[in-house]
Amino acid sequence: MAHSTRKAVITALVANSILTVLKFFTALLSHSASMMNEAIHSLMDSLNQALLLIGLREVDKRQDEDYAFGHGQKKYLWNLWSAIGLFSIGCGLGLAHAWHSWAQLSHRKEVMPLDFFGISIEPIWIAGLVLFIALLLDGYSLVVAMRALKQQMRQDGESGLLNYIAKSDRPTLIAIVLEDSIATFGVLLAGAGITLTYLTGSPGWDIAFSVMIALLLGFAAFYLGAVNMRLLSDVRDKHAEAVFRQVVAGHHEVERYHDLRSIIIDDEHTILVAEIELREEAVTANLQPRIAEYEQQYLDMLPGERRDDPKLMGYCRARAAAQATLERTEIIIEELAAEAKVQLPRIHHVTIEVEGIATPPGTM
């Protein structure tokens, strides 16, 4: 899944880098406020995707002395800085440019046709061509991102797209889908503003639609900032906890669990912590043969003349019981952890404390 996310980010980065150059060039030719804000939009998207790639690279680093559970949460930090910083800046720049364009309406220069090798071309046709290219590139990038998102939805057993986007703990992939969706919508807004200005002769339409494009960046900053803030706040992985409950319910030697907690480290790693009580009849039934085996092993280690010593026999019996109990407890913990990881691979680390043997009903 990390490969699909990385591919979606790189695809979006390449597309937006190309569009940034084309849109800025066209905005200068056409004096279009909405085209300039689209250029700012693509520039912010490009810088954002570069930061997302840095975040994905950080995730690949292994745990070390300073980061016991790896560097996964750095992804959320890069995403947060990107969302609040770049998109907020983009929104501010877009609104400032729209205001400047409105203030300069009385001094607006007439847009003159361009001469290419003796052929006169209206800038609106160049703008239309660039917007068409933008629609193709942004559309393709959106398709790649949606494929990755739907693949992840299938892995998580989800079917509702909007509900998954609202609750997903995969902010990098959600960011790319949201950016590409907004970018595609922004192209349509720019096209509408430029077309209405051309048909009516009123530049107010172009400026009005440029404001909408800037506000789209503001919305992206707010939404992605909120998502990453939530995931940086030690949020619980309720899906992982539900999986653990199911695993415990299916294990015949576990009576109940207590104090089940989880922390999302990143979208590929969750930590689970819980306490369990073992079922007396199930555990002790499996222990008897193993205790007898260990007791015999320890007795065989004694010299022949000391095997009848009551104290040594008692010691061997007690040690055998302790050894078999510890061994069986460790096996139960490993079984629970392994089954949870099989059912939900993002469960990366499981800490289970055995609280003891459950008290049989009616004894208290």
- Hey, what CATH class is 238-357 in? alpha beta
**CA–CA distance from 75 to each of 44, 61, 267, 346 (Å)?**
18, 11, 9, 16
Mean pLDDT of 90-106: 79
**CA–CA distance from 261 to each of 50, 59, 241, 350 (Å)?**
34, 23, 7, 10
Q: Are 214 and 54 in contact (CB under 8 A)?
A: no
- Tell me what pLDDT residue 364 has: 46
pLDDT value at 320 more than 60: yes
The CA distance from 242 to 340, in Å, is 10
pLDDT value at 277 more than 50: yes
pLDDT in tens, 31-40: 778 888 888 8
pLDDT value at 48 more than 80: no
pLDDT value at 1 more than 90: no
| Third-level CATH fold of 2-231 | Alpha-lytic protease prodomain-like (1.20.1510)
* Minimum mean pLDDT range among 98-107, 242-251, 309-318, 355-364: 355-364
Q: Where are the alpha helices (DSSP H) in 104-200?
A: 123-155, 161-167, 171-200
Percent of the chain with pLDDT over 90: 6
pLDDT in tens, 336-353: 999 999 998 888 889 898
Taking all residues of the chain, what is their mean pLDDT, rounded to a whole number?
79
The CA distance from 72 to 288, in Å, is 45
Q: Are 336 and 330 in contact (CB under 8 A)?
A: no
- Tell me what pLDDT residue 274 has: 92
Given phi > 0 = left and psi -120 to 50 = alpha, else beta, which region is 361?
A: beta
pLDDT value at 58 more than 80: no
Give the residue, 87 or 3, on which the prediction is more confident. 87
pTM: 0.63
Which of 44, 15, 35, 39 lies closest to 224, judged by CA? 44
* Highest mean pLDDT: which range of 180-184, 223-227, 274-278: 274-278
- Tell me what pLDDT residue 117 has: 58
Q: At 344, phi and psi to the nearest 5?
A: -145, 95
Mean pLDDT of 83-104: 78
Mean pLDDT of 115-141: 78
The residue type at 253 = E
pLDDT value at 362 more than 60: no
The CA distance from 172 to 201, in Å, is 42
* Minimum mean pLDDT range among 1-5, 81-85, 352-356: 1-5
Q: Which residues fall within 8 angstroms of residue 104, CB to CB, at 6 or more apart?
A: none
pLDDT value at 52 more than 80: no
pLDDT value at 245 more than 90: yes
Mean pLDDT of 167-195: 81
First to last CA, the chain: 51
pLDDT value at 102 more than 90: no
Q: Are 240 and 64 in contact (CB under 8 A)?
A: no
pLDDT value at 227 more than 60: yes
The CA distance from 156 to 185, in Å, is 28
**pLDDT bracket for residue 67 (50, 70, 90):** low
- Tell me what pLDDT residue 108 has: 60
Percent of the chain with pLDDT over 70: 84
Q: At 114, phi and psi to the nearest 5?
A: -100, 145
Domain ranges of the chain: 2-231, 238-357
pLDDT value at 123 more than 80: no
- Tell me what pLDDT residue 168 has: 67
* Minimum mean pLDDT range among 53-57, 128-132, 267-271: 53-57
Residue whose tokens read 């203030």: 103
Mean pLDDT of 187-201: 87
The CA distance from 10 to 6, in Å, is 6
- Tell me what pLDDT residue 322 has: 83
Count other C-beta atoms under 10 Å from residue 338's C-beta: 12
